[in-house]
Amino acid sequence: MEHLVSSWYNDRSLPESYTLPPEDRTGMLPLGKNILVVDLGTHDQTDILQHILEASQEFGMFQVINHGVPSNLINEAMSVFKEFHALSAEDKAIETSKDPSKSCYMYTSTQSYATEKFRFWRDGLLHRCNPLEKYIQFWPEKPPKYRQVVAIYTAELRKVGFRILEFISQGLGVNPDHFRGELGENQTMLVNHYPPCPDPSLTLGLCKHRDPVVINILLQKDVYGLEVFKDEEWIGVEPIPYAFVVTLGVLMQIISNGKLKAAEHRVVTNSNLAWTIAAFALDPFNETLIEPAKALVDTNNPALYKSLSYKDFLIKYRVAASYGTTFEELLID
Ligand code: OGA
Ligand code: NI
């Protein structure tokens, strides 16, 4: 836990390992562009469907408002996430090492800390969510309300996630339940924390990447840090209070046979503010086969991606030293 950025950022300048090569550092952000905001409360379902589809094809990312998750629950969830990251390093270690099979753990920078070339300015708490009765016993008990609040929050996000996946399925022309069951029922909560950084121009919270998930539903609340890459430029994702940012992952690109796009995104750092972001992911199980949906493949539309289990996908995905992906390897030559 001594590696956690939050354990040492206060007494040191930026260590060498966090200084990124010039091409990976942050540039000036173009202003005035933004990703689509989809109002899930609109009565016209066709309208919602079209917006989601358009955003999924162009950016692989959109925000949703009027999603039905109460604002007081969002506030409570964000509070317990922040309180968790404010615990002492010792408490964080104790609270995240209850499961010998590591369904709940903490890490810093990336999952490839031992081999990565550069470091990133992020501490992460990761735990599984479903089935709740199996995993909740391993979740943090500090702050004391963590389990109670996060259980309700993740149940709500699961509903939002499947509702969005149903729209996407309809838009793609596959069975509306395509993602229910194996493809989306392994859910995880990743709570990222970014302490204030001495030099945001030299480092990043997370480098450019695509997520190894079906979709991610992010709560960024009111701090700006997330950027999406589109047409060779970075676009800042404007924080809208109580909105969720939905990002499509690599698995969605594979399942849709390239019709929808995995969002390429990164996180910049901030010299004054610490912030916390909660990403709820819908993932497959380890043995689930990931492949283009059968309904989308025929002689005129051959499969663009190889079939492989989620477990093997993750191994390939993590082969890269950092969080960067070896995504092109998954293409059929
Ligand atoms: C991620 C991610 C965004 C954020 O964890 O994959 O992109 O703002 N998180 O923390
Ligand atoms: Ni991501």
Encoded tokens for 94 = 């104790």
Q: Is residue 64 part of a domain?
A: yes
Q: With 0.75 as the threshold, say if the pTM is over it.
A: yes
Residue 36 has pLDDT above 50, yes or no: yes
- Cβ(265) to ligand 1 under 6 A? yes
Q: Is 248 in the pocket of ligand 1 (CB under 6 A)?
A: no
Q: Which domain holds residue 52?
A: 29-331
Residue 238 located in a structural domain: yes
62-78 pLDDT per residue, tens: 999 999 999 999 999 99
**pLDDT over threshold 90, residue 292:** yes
In a domain, 314, yes or no: yes
pLDDT given at position 2: 62
Q: Is 13 a domain residue?
A: no
Neighbours of 12 (CB within 10 A): 8
What ligand has the least distance to the C-alpha of 218?
1
More confident residue, 70 or 319: 70
pLDDT in tens, 175-222: 999 999 899 999 999 999 999 998 889 999 998 889 999 999 999 977
What is the tens place of the pLDDT at every residue in 211-254?
A: 999 999 999 977 889 999 998 888 999 899 999 999 999 999 99
Nearest-CA neighbor of 122 among 197, 211, 227?
Answer: 197
Q: Which atom of ligand 1 is nearest to the CA of 220?
A: 8
Q: Is the pLDDT reported for residue 31 higher than 60?
A: no
Q: Is residue 261 part of a domain?
A: yes
Q: Is residue 270 part of a domain?
A: yes
Of the candidates 219, 211, 99, the one whose C-alpha atom is nearest the C-alpha of residue 149 is: 219
pLDDT at 326: 53
Q: What pLDDT was estimated at residue 30?
A: 56
Count of structural domains, the chain = 1
Report d(CA 139, CA 150) in Å as an integer.
Answer: 9
* Residue among 265, 280, 282 whose CB has most ligand 1 atoms within 8 A, to mutate: 265
Distance CA 247, CA 281 (A): 9
pLDDT in tens, 102-132: 999 999 988 888 888 889 999 999 999 999 9
Residue 175 sits in a domain of what CATH number? 2.60.120.330
Give the span between the Cα atoms of 228 and 226, in whole angstroms.
7
Query: Does a structural domain hold residue 20?
Result: no
Greater pLDDT, 162 or 328: 162
Q: Is residue 44 part of a domain?
A: yes
Note the pLDDT of residue 41. 96
Phi, psi angle pair for 168, to nearest 5°:
-65, -40
Residue 125: which residues within 8 A CB-CB, separation 6 or more? 81, 84, 85, 92, 96, 104, 105, 106, 140, 189, 190, 191, 193
- Evaluated on CA atoms 290, 206, 104, 147, the torsion sign reads negative
